[in-house]
Amino acid sequence: MARGPVRESVTIAGRPERVAVARAFAAAVLGQHSAGETAVLLLSELVTNSVRHSASGLPGRTVTVTVLVAGEVIRVEVADQSGVTVPALRPGGSGLEGGGRGLYLVDCLAARWGFEQVGRHTTTWFELQHR
């Protein structure tokens, strides 16, 4: 499907049951893109992290998801209301039994990823190449 650059955002309540809304949003924006399923998986991990580890998981708080598609790059951004720590990759084999696989998956599957903090907000992002 050939189309120009796309940038769409949605803001959801910072509750675990709203992660499904973020997944459905991304899937609708990406349609049949070759990296769409991977993008939705990684987005789900980042939104879950935001709900669990940031102030966005508190009552009345939100998470904003932005999906950008330009050329051969899909970029997904998840903005939250920061936590006491920053997103950090744990070593692959240590301590992942109780969780911690989200950023590991992002690191393994994304072309690149990172985070930016501005004031009390953190945006964690990843990029995928698609055909």
- Could you tell me whether strands 112-118 and 62-70 are parallel, antiparallel, or unpaired per DSSP bridges? unpaired
74 touches 127 (CB < 8 A): yes
Rounded CA-CA distance 79/14 in Å is 11
The widest CA-to-CA distance across the chain, in whole angstroms, is 43
What is the tens place of the pLDDT at every residue in 66-76? 999 998 899 99
pLDDT tens, residue by residue, 70-120: 988 999 999 999 887 778 777 655 554 556 678 999 999 999 999 999 989
pTM: 0.88
Whether the Cβ atoms of residue 116 and residue 122 lie closer than 8 Å to each other: yes
- Domains along the chain with CATH numbers: 6-129 (3.30.565.10)
Q: Which of 62, 49, 41, 47 is nearest to 108 (CA)?
A: 41
Give the span between the Cα atoms of 10 and 20, in whole angstroms. Answer: 12
DSSP of 58-83 = STT-EEEEEEEEETTEEEEEEEE---
Residues 13-19 have a mean pLDDT of 96
